[in-house]
Amino acid sequence: MKTLMIRGYLVLTLAAMSLVPNAPPALGATIETNDETGWKLYTNPRFEFSFRYPDDWRLGNLLPGGIGVTLFPSIEHSLVALSGHMNMVSGSSQDGRQTLEEFAASHRRVITGLYDKKKMEITWQKDANTALAGFPAKRLTFTYQDDRRNTMLEIHIFSLGRNEGRGVRIKMPADRTAQLMPTIRRMLKSYEGGRDQNAVSPIVPKGRD
C-alpha cells in the first residue's frame, strides 16, 4: 500500500516530464488574467489550490486524476508542476497516517530508486524546512546529469496535513537557476492551498480500526 500511494504522488512530479510543452490549457481549470501584473491566475478544480504565473509560461494539461498541472517557463528543459494529494499511507501521526518526516523519507527513497533504474546518479543536498500555503513543508533538492549531459537541478517542496498534502516540483538546468528562481519565488508567494488539508477524512489507512 505504501509504495503504491507514494508512487501515486510521484505522478505529480515525474510523469510531468512526458507532457507536451505546447499542450492546451488544463481542462476544467479556472484561468483568469490580471491586467495589472500581466500574470494569470490558475485554480485547480479538484483540490482548489491556486497561484499566479507569468503570461509567457505555457500551461499543460491537468496531471492524471486532475491532481495538478505543469507549467513550462520560456527556459528550455525547465518546468514547474503543482499538485495536491491525499495523506492515506499508514504512519505514526495522530491519525495513523504519515508524518511530514515520514513522507519526505519515502519520497527520497522512491526518487532515488527511479533514477537508479534510469542509470542516472543523483546528488542530494541537505533537506530544508520551509512552508507552503501556511503549512510546514519540506524542501528536497538534488542534481543529476540528463541524457544530454546537462546538469539539472530539481527542487521538490511538499506539505502534509491530516488528510491532504500539496506539492511543487521545480526542474531546470542548473546554470539557469539565478535567472528562473526569482520568478518562481514570486509565483510561490501567490500560492493559496485551497481546501482544508486538515479536514477529517472517513478514509482510514489499511490495517487501522
| 204 neighbors 89 (Cβ within 8 angstroms) | no
| 84 neighbors 67 (Cβ within 8 angstroms) | yes
Residue 139: domain span? 2-189
**Structural domains counted in the chain:** 1
Q: What is the rounded distance in angstroms from the CA atom of residue 135 to the CA atom of residue 59?
A: 26
Instruction: Report the DSSP beta bridge partners of residue 165.
Output: 85, 160
pTM above 0.85, yes or no: no
pLDDT for position 203 = 55
Q: With a cut of 50, which residues of the chain have pLDDT below it?
A: 1-27, 35-36, 208-209
Q: Specify the residue for cell string 500539496.
A: 166
Instruction: Please write the tens of the pLDDT for every residue from 143-178.
Output: 999 988 999 999 999 999 999 999 999 999 999 999
Question: Cα dist. 35→131, 146, 209 in Å?
Answer: 29, 38, 52
Q: Identify the CATH number of the domain in which residue 166 sits.
A: 3.40.1000.10
Q: What is the rounded distance in angstroms from the CA atom of residue 45 to the CA atom of residue 48?
A: 5
Is 197 a member of any domain? no
Is 200 a member of any domain? no
Is 198 a member of any domain? no
pLDDT for position 25 = 45
Is 34 a member of any domain? yes
Is 48 a member of any domain? yes
Instruction: Please write the tens of the pLDDT for every residue from 121-147.
Output: 999 999 999 999 889 999 999 999 998
43 three-class SS: strand
Q: Specify the residue for cell string 543529476.
A: 144
